[in-house]
Structure 1
Amino acid sequence: MLNEWEMVNASDNKDNYFMGSKSMKIISLFFFMLAGILVANDVDEGLQAYGENNFQKASMIWERSCKQGDTSSCNYLGDLYRSGKGVEYQSYLMAIELYNKSCNRDNPKGCFMLAQMYKDGLGVKQDILKSVENFSKSCELGYSASCRKLGEIYQNGYSGLEKNYNNAISYYEKSCQDGELDSCNNLAFMYYNGEGVQVDKKKAKCFYGKACGNGANQYACDTYKVLDSLDY
């Protein structure tokens, strides 16, 4: 049995333990947030240097930030290696390595760029299935441009991959809802011409209206007006 004094000490020790544990969590959270702020500053500093055409400085900043785990910096550094700006030599292989690192950490832009490299056969043997795999991951992570790319691949067929209009429409619809005007335009075209679907001028008008984007696509705006004047 603990006497009263021992019980008080035990209670104090317990409180001190929990207070110490809580303090350590607060300190850890502080340094985690600080690290995030510093990395964000690195990204912005790199973008500023890039905007000033100081590509070498941008590459140094993004290389440091990428090593610290910032996937956006890995993407930007990959872009520099892909273009050969600010680095010792152009290297598609280095670009792929950086995009792959980013994609493995679920950065959708990294997956998008990796898919593009496989689609175009830059630094790797052209592989449309690998491209579709990475576009799909990027699309699932919410990157609408990847959904549009998948729609284009399935609408037109590509490098041995057969056309699949159902898949094309599904991906176009997803990206159109997310504001990809080209996807809206492609959907309108498919419904207007009955490509993979029955001709539906009302749906075509609807999607041309979305593709118009307040004048961003003049053809879509004009076609919408024509269909509207015909009471579709």
Structure 2
Amino acid sequence: MIKRLLLLLFALNFAIANLTNQAQTTCDAGDEQTAAKIWQKACETGEARGCVRIGFLYQSDRGVKQDDEKAGKFYQKACDAGELRGCDSLASLRQNSGEHAKAAAVFEQACEKGFGLSCYNLAQIYEAGIGVAA
């Protein structure tokens, strides 16, 4: 019974990873609309990298209509799942919208977990003293 469960989990993980790879291949071929659909499905099935990628497409108006609110929701989902690129992207999105204190909190969260880019971004916020004490 346990062997069957482990095999099923392995197959499911492999299938999800294939969705992410399939979407990247599709995007690289220039079909961002289809890639967006695949990454969204990957995100919905628990692939945090898919959440980051679909969030990026919403943020950058590529393959889907630009929507920072949707981008933020996808980045948040990725961040909650432990995908630190999602945390960094969420913090950058907040920073760009003027929510500097919220951005600093998310950058700090990712930095503490070892995401170097977030440490750098957090340092820049503190250096500038925007939304936080310099």
Please say whether Structure 1 and Structure 2 have the same fold, judged by a TM-score greater than 0.5.
yes
The 3-state SS of whatever aligns with 1:146 is: helix
Distance between the aligned counterparts of 1:150 and 1:31, measured in 2?
38
Distance 1:173 1:83, change over 3 A: same
Match of 1:176 among 94, 111, 124: 111
Which TM-score applies when normalising by structure 1? 0.54
Per-residue deviation at 1:37? 5.1
Match of 2:100 among 154, 160, 165: 165
Which TM-score applies when normalising by structure 2? 0.89
Match of 2:84 among 128, 139, 144: 144
Distance between the aligned counterparts of 1:146 and 1:93, measured in 2?
21
Moved over 6 A (4+): none
Per-residue deviation at 1:32? 3.9
User: Which ranges in structure 1 are unaligned for 5 or more consecutive residues?
Assistant: 1-25, 44-69, 85-89, 158-162, 200-232
Match of 1:154 among 82, 91, 94: 94
Distance between the aligned counterparts of 1:94 and 1:184, measured in 2?
34
Amino acid at match of 1:103: C
Q: Deviations over 1:166-219 (max 9, x none)?
A: 2101110111011111111111122222121222xxxxxxxxxxxxxxxxxxxx
Residues 1:123 and 2:68 are matched in the alignment: no
Amino acid at match of 1:186: N
The 3-state SS of whatever aligns with 2:33 is: helix
Per-residue deviation at 1:35? 4.8
The 3-state SS of whatever aligns with 2:95 is: helix
CA RMSD of aligned residues (A): 1.8
Amino-acid identity (%): 25
Residues 1:73 and 2:18 are matched in the alignment: yes
1:189-208 aligned at under 5 Å gives the runs 189-199=124-134
Distance between the aligned counterparts of 1:73 and 1:187, measured in 2?
34
Question: 2:3 aligns to what?
Answer: 30
Distance between the aligned counterparts of 1:107 and 1:176, measured in 2?
22
Question: 1:111 aligns to what?
Answer: 51
Structure showing greater radius of gyration is 1
Distance between the aligned counterparts of 2:39 and 2:112, measured in 1?
27
Per-residue deviation at 1:34? 3.6
Per-residue deviation at 1:78? 0.2
Per-residue deviation at 1:39? 6.9
Aligned residues between the structures: 134
Per-residue deviation at 1:36? 4.9
Which structure would you say has the larger RCO, counting Cα contacts within 8 Å and 6 or more residues apart? 2
Question: 2:122 aligns to what?
Answer: 187
